[in-house]
Structure 1
Amino acid sequence: MDERDDTVETVDSVLAALSDPRRRQLLDLLAEQGEATATTLAERLPVSRQAVVKHLATLDAAGLVSVTRVGREVRYAIRTAGVNATAQWMAALADDWDRRLAKIKRVAEAAERDSRSPRHD
């Protein structure tokens, strides 16, 4: 697997993980708190601790959170690498669309100018 395949796989897993609003809420909470346990996060959401753990596992698999074990306690924190790769991919996609739309605009404006100019037949 080459670097491009790795990037596509990362972007796919990040977008899939971020598609769920509850997982986005968990990331927001971790951004506020820096590091938290599943129990602490579950106290702030209207879901069970087990549901939070499942969502955190998905975020971990996508590379969006890190997991640290301290004794019996499991702490979660945000990892930015997956988000950064996805943001770069989205920026490149946006740049490509900006170029395409600018070209369409130039062609349309040229056609409009040509239609207004007098014809010498």
Structure 2
Amino acid sequence: MNASAPTHDIYDAIADPTRRKLIRLLADADELPLNQLTAHFSMGRTAVAKHLTILKEAGLVTDRKVGRETRNRLNPTPLREIQDWLSYYEKFWTTNLQKLDYLLREEQS
């Protein structure tokens, strides 16, 4: 098995609001250590670390050691899969809303 291959489903990883907030925090910063991430939550360091592990297993977060500190960084590439999946439904809703608009305009005439 490839060591860099994701071991956690991307959709499961983003299903939790805490993990979505972690993604947002990391998107807004270049890198953040665990203690700075933990400051944004009302849970302990261990709980935040577990959420980070799931994001790492999905390939959404990478980390690197700087001295004794581990800095976390967002890897947005896996989010492309979600964007592609959602784009189908965007087309679906756009088409159907256009049809509805057309029908409502005809009904008003």
TM over 0.5: yes
| Residue 19 (structure 2) aligns with | 23
2:78 is paired with a residue whose SS is helix
Count of aligned pairs: 98
Equivalent position of 2:74 in the other structure: 78
Deviation at 1:94, TM superposition (A): 3.1
Q: Does 1:48 align with 2:44?
A: yes
What secondary structure is seen at the aligned counterpart in 1 of 2:9? helix
Larger Rg: 1
**1:68 to 2:52 alignment:** no
Q: Could you tell me the TM-score, scaled by structure 1's length? A: 0.67
Percent of pairs with identical residues: 33
Shift of 1:86: 1.3
RMSD of Structure 2 on Structure 1 (CA): 2.8
Which is worse superposed, 52-61 or 90-99?
90-99
* Structure 2 unaligned blocks of 5 or more: 1-5, 104-109
Tell me the CA shift for residue 95 of structure 1: 2.4
Deviation at residue 92 of structure 1 after TM alignment? 2.4
- Render the CA deviation track for 1:73-102: whole Å, top value 9, x for unaligned: 111111111111210121124325655x48
Deviation at 1:40, TM superposition (A): 1.1
User: Any idea what SS the aligned residue of 1:18 has?
Assistant: helix
Corresponding position: 1:87 with 2:83:
yes
SS at match of 1:28: helix
Gaps of 5+ in 1: 1-8, 110-121
Q: Tell me how far apart the structure 2 counterparts of residues 31 and 65 of structure 1 sit (CA, whole Å).
A: 10
More helix, by proportion: 1
- The residue type equivalent to 1:30 in the other structure is L
Name the SS for the 2:59 alignment partner: coil
Q: Which runs of 4+ in 1 moved over 3 A?
A: 96-99
